[in-house]
A and B are shown apart, each in its own frame.
Chain A
């Protein structure tokens, strides 16, 4: 039954030319006619799969695996070098929210412009105008110029227009990681609604968890090649297996100091390192593994009653955990000179996702001496359970015959 195939990706390859130096002007082109050095780079190689109507399909892959290129080919922004993609139905691509907004125009004008850019007729926009504005929560600002919008308002308007295009096929790049929590929930709600309507959704992400939650099937890409197309759970497993085979790319190191450094700094943080059983061999932790946060510091004068605070945020910048040594009831007095503090978690209970550690040295009254943020670590869930935290549960079954 080819009738209910919504998107057919047929042996698609895409070649990019990577110029060592790109010449745009005539003079440069003529001068460098002989040594026009470039490399061919295949961003996609022989990708074939079919998406049935009404399915939600995830495209999983690390950064640079060709996910976005594939999406751009599907939405017609890029043309494949080889092969073809057949799309049945109206397709709307959410590659970048608010792409094409004109800062000088008002929100109202931008809705019309952007919607027609996405292929909606004026009549359709008019009938949905109020809905779009309500969804974006911009009732009071709709006649203001978009350049005065906050980035959150901008993104909300972009999403509101895009989902109201009424597509048969919705292509979503990693755009949902923006906006506040409330808006994200709204976006997810809208996507669920789309699923219930029987629309086809293509979803690009590197969050395995999201795939497990909303996708029927998923394609796993790695450096331009498709290493598998299977049901969501299997694809996630495949993705994880694939990630586990990869060598650690870069060591996890501390970020730069934050900008708001207090004037009075008797102690500074010199380094923040994360250590876990896999340090040096892999980049991620498995649920339940221990994690040590090693803070190097240097005191310029003796500090009595120092407090070390630690926070863990998830990728949406929501706090997952926060505590400090004061809560633990631990007294820390530091003499002049360097030192090291190891904060050890015996079990990290998160499932998938990227997390960020922030540490802070402060006095007991709360004067911050120094702070480091955004020290990342990644959790990888090899199992098939979903959610955010790893819990154990037992099952006991009692039947009538036993009692």
Chain B
């Protein structure tokens, strides 16, 4: 009995000391607080399941999980950018230098060797390149993102679409870096954008980002099973680049050449829609409208009119337009009103949202076996 009392007597001063020690106190308090928080959280949750793991997935649930992981998205974007330029002397400057050098090459090529005669060609091209680089980088890194991050995908449970979105997100960050270069060029060339039409960029950017995300989500899932996908995308992107008016004038080349030809007996003017079925084109044209900002610019390069055969009587034909050569100045930009741009961008956005939901469905179907296939 005495022993017990002695023990109790010994313990109490120690206890007192622990209570007096502020660090211990705060730790104990912190712990109590945490436990209380946990208790309320558990109570609030009730018996509702937090997660059901099964073979079926709903798109709605995926969207909700993605929204919950939005902070992860920010961290992943930050990581991607940090890791990409780590250990390089110039760091993220490369993200600006890279397109600037490409631009320089194209500028020399299309001004001195294959002149296209577009005034302010640097601005014309760069406004298209901004969009293209965003799309291309997003699609390329997005497609490989699941395979590249196999280590995490196999070991941690989280909405994997975030990986793809983070790739597109980092491309979007580079887009802003590159916009700085664009601003530099515009100041250097004393060339102002169309301030009153700036807002056109919002639907255009939304459209291209959602489109790139939708495509990347679909392709990244397919890429896990079929590694050809990433190479195929690379090749397709090379061809795709020439399908947007970057180094040639839209009106001068596309519009006019489509008007001159009849392909497969389809009237030419309808064929212009084939060109616009490329969702990147309206976005690029919107950017050019805002930044290039010379709606009736004319190419200084004169193009000979195409010879035509005209019927001037029964069985009598005349070749028109060759002698003397007839030179026509070519318009650079399409002469479309503002609402055409808004409509085209919103159409792309609408289609992209549908594609996005579809891509999520496919991704969800294929995701179940990611961990085994990687």
Contact = CB atoms under 8 A, between A and B. Distances in A.
Interface in A50-89: 72-89
A176 interface: no
A119 B156 CA distance: 10
A76 B53 contact: yes
A122 B71 contact: yes
B82 interface: yes
B38 A25 contact: no
Given A100-B156, A119-B68, A119-B69, 10 more contacts: A3-B47, A74-B53, A79-B53, A80-B53, A85-B52, A89-B45, A99-B156, A100-B152, A102-B79, A121-B71
A29 interface: yes
Contact of A119 (B47, B75, B158, B371): B158
A99 B155 contact: yes
B50 A89 contact: yes
Contacts of B152: 99-100, 117
B151 interface: yes
A113 B75 contact: yes
Contacts of A180: none
Interface stretch (A104-112, A252-260, A337-345): A104-112
B151 A99 contact: yes
5 contacts: A2-B47, A79-B54, A104-B82, A109-B82, A121-B71
B76 interface: yes
B34 interface: yes
A174 to B, nearest CB: 14
B194 to A, nearest CB: 39
Interface stretch (A90-98, A202-210, A310-318): A90-98
B227 interface: yes
Contacts of B109: none
B87 interface: yes
Interface in B355-374: 367-369, 371-372
Contact of B53 (A87, A105, A166, A197): A87
A118 interface: yes
Interface in A1-53: 2-3, 16-17, 24-27, 29
A168 B55 contact: no
Contacts, number: 122
Given A78-B368, A88-B47, A105-B82, A93 B52 contact: no
A25 B228 contact: yes
* 9 closest A-B pairs by CB: A99-B155, A79-B368, A84-B54, A76-B157, A3-B47, A26-B228, A100-B152, A116-B72, A85-B53
B366 to A, nearest CB: 11
Contacts of A105: 79, 82-83
A96 B156 CA distance: 9
B157 A77 contact: yes
Contacts of A77: 153-157, 371
A96 B371 CA distance: 14
A117 B72 contact: yes
B38 A91 contact: no
Given A77-B157, A116-B71, A89 B42 contact: yes
A80 B51 CA distance: 14
Interface in B40-96: 42, 45-55, 68-69, 71-72, 75-76, 78-79, 82-83, 86-87
Contacts of A81: 55
> Is chain B's interface secondary structure helix, strand, loop, or mixed overall?
helix
Interface string A298-326: 00000000000000000000000000000
B280 to A, nearest CB: 25
A85 B54 contact: yes
A395 B20 CA distance: 46
Contacts of B34: 166
A80 B55 contact: yes
A89 B72 CA distance: 20
B6 interface: no
B156 A93 contact: yes
Contact of A87 (B52, B55, B68): B52
Interface in B260-312: none
Given A96-B155, A105-B83, A113-B76, A83 B54 contact: yes
Contacts of B228: 25-27
Contacts of A95: 155-156
Given A113-B79, A168-B42, A86 B151 contact: no
A27 B52 CA distance: 38
Interface in B294-343: none
B156 A91 contact: no
B45 A102 contact: no
Contact of A78 (B42, B50, B227, B372): B372
Contacts of B18: none
Contacts of B47: 2-3, 88
A312 to B, nearest CB: 34
A102 B80 CA distance: 10
A105 B79 CA distance: 8
A117 B226 CA distance: 26
B54 A80 contact: yes
A83 to B, nearest CB: 7
B141 to A, nearest CB: 15
Contacts of A76: 51, 53, 157
A86 B52 contact: yes
A25 B53 CA distance: 30
Given A102-B79, A113-B76, A116-B71, A24 B54 contact: no
Given A88-B45, A100-B152, A166 B38 contact: yes
A126 B36 CA distance: 19
Contact of A24 (B45, B51, B155, B226): B226
Contacts of A118: 156, 158
Contacts of A89: 42, 45, 50
B372 A16 contact: yes
A3 B46 contact: yes
A108 to B, nearest CB: 12
A369 B49 CA distance: 63
B35 interface: yes
A319 to B, nearest CB: 33
Contact of B55 (A27, A72, A82, A112): A82
A197 B38 contact: yes
A168 B48 CA distance: 14
Nearest to A90: B50
B91 to A, nearest CB: 13
Given A99-B152, A166-B34, A197-B35, A87 B50 contact: yes
Interface in B199-244: 225-228
A113 B87 CA distance: 20
Contact of A84 (B53, B69, B157, B372): B53
Contacts of A122: 71
Contacts of B79: 102, 105, 109, 113
